[in-house]
Amino acid sequence: MTTDTASDTAPVLKDGVYYHQFDIVIVGAGGAGMRAAIEAGPGARTAVISKLYPTRSHTGAAQGGMAAALANVEEDSWEWHTFDTVKGGDYLVDQDAAEILAKEAIDAVIDLENMGLPFNRTPEGKIDQRRFGGHTADHGKTPVRRACYAADRTGHMILQTLFQNCVKLGINFFNEFYVLDLVTVKDADGSTKVAGVVAYELATGDLHVFQSKAVIFATGGFGKIFKTTSNAHTLTGDGVGIIWRKGLPLEDMEFFQFHPTGLAGLGILLTEGARGEGAILRNVSGERFMERYAPTIKDLAPRDIVSRCMVQEVAEGRGAGPHRDYVLLDCTHLGAEVLETKLPDITEFARTYLGVDPVVEPVPVMPTAHYAMGGIPTNNNAEVLSDNTTVVPGLYAAGECACVSVHGSNRLGTNSLLDINVFGKRAGRNAVEYVKTADFVALPEDPAKEVRELIEGLRTNEGTERIAVLRKTLQDEMDRKAQVFRTDESLGEVLEVIEELRERFKNVHVDDKGKRYNTDLLEAVELGFLLDIAEVVVVTAKNRKESRGGHMRDDFPKRDDENYMQHTMAYLSGDPHSSSPEDHIALGWKPVVFTKNEAGELRYPPLERKY
């Protein structure tokens, strides 16, 4: 067993399993997890468990910025930021949560600045800000400079800054430990109590039980259900999958965001900050086509709108390239100085992966699967819910794995780095308050039993199915039939494929039978989570017969507020191993929260989204 910081409680070895005890266990060491740890560490014995070294977490891939109405460059206000968040999310945003996000954004940025984050600066020495899609002044009248940034490496800078501060605080890190189960017990009244988590140590193959009073999930997204994605290979939805398998619900899983500017054919992200600096999307004839779709803010419309417009341009024969299958991001007019100083990473990406120099030629781009708006349902205190309102005591979630819901059906750019800081902080702070009065829940007799059976079942399976083949089939089908545009027919077809893959997965073969750094076994476990999550995404998408935000139905192209102005709640019911989703997935609804002004009128009534 290896840790970066020695625990003040030595593990106890019992029946081949290591037992640890902490007040708070945080699963995931990305931005949300480490921000929670900074808040929790000084007030409670805290452990952070991550299947990666913390600075390899996917937060480090975020490029463009973090939104906050600092008004350092132009007039701005948190009310305008709230409006943009609600409108950008196509009104499926819980408006009380959006107000919290926008209000606390300012302190969140200042917190990071005080921790040492090197933001870009104005000539006066203030934090510089730039434009980003969907962010406007005066309730949609004009684009506004709201994104605080560190070149196009903002996520990387946030991750490094948070990690350094965690080290300073002496936070206990358990790196390359893969959490595979949430240990819960049922109270006499049937309610769920949290007892800890079970993790598999990659270096040794040992199992570790972490008993804790509180658990915070901060495990990121699940973009690897798609082939073309900006997500790292590790984003396989482990935390979301664990919650699902424990019988707790998932919220709004049908809403997945496709970022407009992924490198064509690869999905590697080019930040929206490029368009914030003035880059232009063009079709094969050189036309700035976004002027036709969003005449006010053009290329800086929200991501769902821009993605659909790009796909439509290609579908109607105006795509570029030898196969007319992409559009072009034109940065040439920005000049070498801007590209090399404010956008150095994307400039290098284009040169390295496509052999295109953005200084002198436009870059081929197409939408890439980027961000999950849905996930583990929480309230504004980051407490996980077992239904629409009931809190699971001691269980918290923050970041992309959680659905609070501040993003609704479409997340605005720069609100993700904001989300992990605002709600990561809230999760850590509220967990500390909880553990002050909570007792440890007694562990069941063999808390590692389910994980042991999962691991050994996969390791010893003598089946013939190959992990890579099943994963590729899933990702290819999701790309073709459940991406930017969907129909009942396409979703039905991919659902049939998923059910077939779930059956074939029972016969999967793991070549490596060893215990140390068995990545073959790791990929098999991850594939199981991907199949579970893809199924929920497709079932919920099939059930929502409207188009809203990141969920675009060709057969139901209009937004339907009368029937679908509500969150989808998915529940695991019946036999989870049955081949028919109707036998193990139950769907329900949860009301959207609207706020009112002093006169009792809706503060942000759902209007048609025009740009």
Q: 30 a known binding residue?
A: yes
Contact at 8 Å (CB) between 536 and 499?
A: no
Q: 62 a known binding residue?
A: yes
Q: 553 a known binding residue?
A: no
Q: 32 a known binding residue?
A: yes
Q: What is the DSSP string of 21-79?
A: EEEEEEE--SHHHHHHHHHHTTTS-EEEEESS-GGGSGGGG--S-EE----SSS---HH
- 574, two tokens: 């019946």
Provide the 3-class DSSP secondary structure of residue 145.
strand
- 170, two tokens: 């002496």
Q: Which are the contacts of 180, defined by CB distance < 8 A and separation ≥ 6?
A: 198, 199, 200, 238, 242, 451, 454, 455, 525
**CA atoms of 441 and 394, how far apart (whole Å):** 10
Q: 52 a known binding residue?
A: yes
Contact at 8 Å (CB) between 400 and 411?
A: no
Residue 61: count other Cβ atoms within 10 Å of its Cβ.
18
Q: 33 a known binding residue?
A: yes
**CA atoms of 192 and 244, how far apart (whole Å):** 14
Q: 156 a known binding residue?
A: no
Q: 37 a known binding residue?
A: no
Which helix (H) or strand (E) segment is 243 a member of?
Answer: helix 238-245
Question: How close are the terminal C-alpha atoms of the chain, in Å?
Answer: 54
Q: 51 a known binding residue?
A: yes
Contact at 8 Å (CB) between 280 and 299?
A: yes
Cα 58 from chain centroid? Answer: 10
**CA atoms of 235 and 216, how far apart (whole Å):** 17
**CA atoms of 54 and 605, how far apart (whole Å):** 41
Q: 233 a known binding residue?
A: no
Q: 333 a known binding residue?
A: no
Q: 68 a known binding residue?
A: no
Q: 259 a known binding residue?
A: yes
**CA atoms of 142 and 174, how far apart (whole Å):** 47
Q: Which are the contacts of 183, defined by CB distance < 8 A and separation ≥ 6?
A: 194, 195, 196, 197, 198, 209, 211, 443, 444, 447
Q: 57 a known binding residue?
A: yes
Please state the length of the chain.
Answer: 611
Q: 407 a known binding residue?
A: no
Q: Spot the catalytic one: 35, 282, 303, 559.
A: 303
**CA atoms of 473 and 174, how far apart (whole Å):** 34
Contact at 8 Å (CB) between 147 and 132?
A: yes
Q: Which are the contacts of 512, defined by CB distance < 8 A and separation ≥ 6?
A: 518, 519, 520, 521
Q: 9 a known binding residue?
A: no
Nearest to 370 by CA among 343, 393, 400: 400
In single-letter form, the type of residue at position 416 comes to: S
Q: 71 a known binding residue?
A: no
**CA atoms of 49 and 197, how far apart (whole Å):** 10
Angle, CA 585 vertex, CA 581 and CA 587 arms, to 5°: 125
**CA atoms of 397 and 385, how far apart (whole Å):** 10
Asked if the bond preceding 405 is cis, omega within 30° of 0, the reply is yes
Q: 464 a known binding residue?
A: no
Q: 162 a known binding residue?
A: no
**CA atoms of 122 and 591, how far apart (whole Å):** 43
303 is catalytic: yes
Q: 54 a known binding residue?
A: yes
Residues belonging to the binding site are 28-33, 50-65, 238, 259, 271, 370, 400, 411, 416-417
Residues belonging to the binding site for FAD are 28-33, 50-65, 238, 400, 416-417
List, by residue number, the catalytic residues: 303
Residues belonging to the binding site for substrate are 259, 271, 370, 411
